[in-house]
Amino acid sequence: GKTVTLSDWRLKRRSDVAVGVPEVRELIRDHIVRRLVGPIERFFQFKVTRMDRYVVACYDSAVAAHFHRHRDNINAGAQHRRFALSINLNKDFEGGDLLFPEFGRKAYRPSEGGALVFSCGALHQVTPVTKGKRYAFLAFMYGEEDAAKREGNNAKLHAGELQYDLSGRDRLFPEEALPESIASVA
C-alpha cells in the first residue's frame, strides 16, 4: 500500500546522474524558464512553477538501454507531475527514440539541444539504443497545486523514500518573483 522505488532492468535500463551542483542547476533552471515556461503556458494553458529531478541519463548501446512503455504520474510519489521534459544532449547514437504507442508508430527524436515536452499521463517508451550512447537531461514540471498534492502524498510513500516539503528547492522562480496569484497558493 506504499510507493517504493524498485529497479527492473527488463523494463528500464539506463544510468542516471543527478545534477547536484547548485550553480549548474541554476543555469539549467534559467534556460528552461527562458525557453519553455512561456510556450507551455501558451500551448497548454498551464503555469509551470516547479521542476524536479535534474537528471542526466545515459542510454548505452552496450547494454541495449531502453525504457519500456510507461506513464510518469501513476504512483503516489509521482502524481504531482504534469509535464515530462527530455532534452537530447548528443546526436551520435542510433535508437533511443521516444514513442507514444497510443498515438501511432511515429518515433520522436529532438535534435541535439532540442527539447520534447509532453504530458506525464501519456503512455511512452524509449526504444533500445543500438549504437553509441544517448545522453539526455530529464525532468518533470508542475505547479503550486501539484506541489501541495506532492507534499500530501508523503504519507503514501514507503519509509525509505525521500519525503517532499514545500521549501522551494524545486521552484523555477524565486519566491519574491512569483505573481501574487501563485504566491498565495504556495
What's the rounded Cα separation, in Å, for the pair 67 and 45?
29
**Spatial CA neighbour of 14 closest among 87, 64, 69, 83:** 64
- Give domain limits for the chain: 12-183
CATH architecture for residues 12-183 = Sandwich (2.60)
Full-model pTM: 0.86
pLDDT recorded at residue 75: 81
Report pLDDT digits (tens) over 150-170: 877 777 766 776 766 777 778
Q: What's the average model confidence in pLDDT over 30-48?
A: 96
Q: What is the pLDDT of residues 69-119, one digit of tens each?
A: 999 998 888 889 999 999 999 999 999 999 999 999 999 999 999 999 999
- Rounded Cα distance between 146 and 171, Å, is 12
